[in-house]
Structure 1
Amino acid sequence: MKSKDIRPFIPVKELAVSKAFYEALGFISDDANEDMSVISNGTCTFFLYQAAEINFDAGLMFQLSVPDIQAALNSIQKVKNIDIRYEPIKEERWGKIIYLWGPSGEMWHITELNR
């Protein structure tokens, strides 16, 4: 599978405080919704999300942007002899997504964004 970008989701205690911190460092924030912001600077981009309680034992989430979601799904489906957990392609207003969980519970949002 080809990839284009990785964007982690980072839990925060207070979204407004975290946004202000990253903006002070020169990042730009764009609210995705009331509980999540996209933080970027050049090619570096990640998400901040409001967490009711932060527990790093709960795992992490990442976004992997791909040019062809069907090719990504084909690659996932070809995996043999490994217990793999994923959900099929879902259509969203912004593109398509596959949810994939790694062996330690980390969650990947494999996405093909609209052009």
Structure 2
Amino acid sequence: MIDLQAGDLRTFVPSRDFALSQAFYTALGCELEWSDEGLALFRLGASRFYLQAHYVKDWAENTMLHIGVQDAARCHADIKRLLASDRFAPARVAAPRREPYGALVSYVWDPAGVLLHLAQWDRP
């Protein structure tokens, strides 16, 4: 077996409107570390991801990020308030629901249709 000695894994996330998606992720608390006209690097906790100025509908609507949070209900309420202004339309949020794998999850769709799973685990 090959030992890649990997220290980091980053995904690429599409955006339909690059500036709007950058503003959306910043409003969610992601820290913009670097950007140019077509790519932005965000940090969320100990993780990072790239936001691209590139959009393919099927890809965007099949991209999902699973994010562990402390309080899915609070995240839902905060994001619902954020989205009430329609600034990030067509982004939307669903009320938390208990999933069979043990997490309470609030689902958030970003402006491009990327699905975020904000998952609160009852046990480590």
Larger relative strand fraction: 1
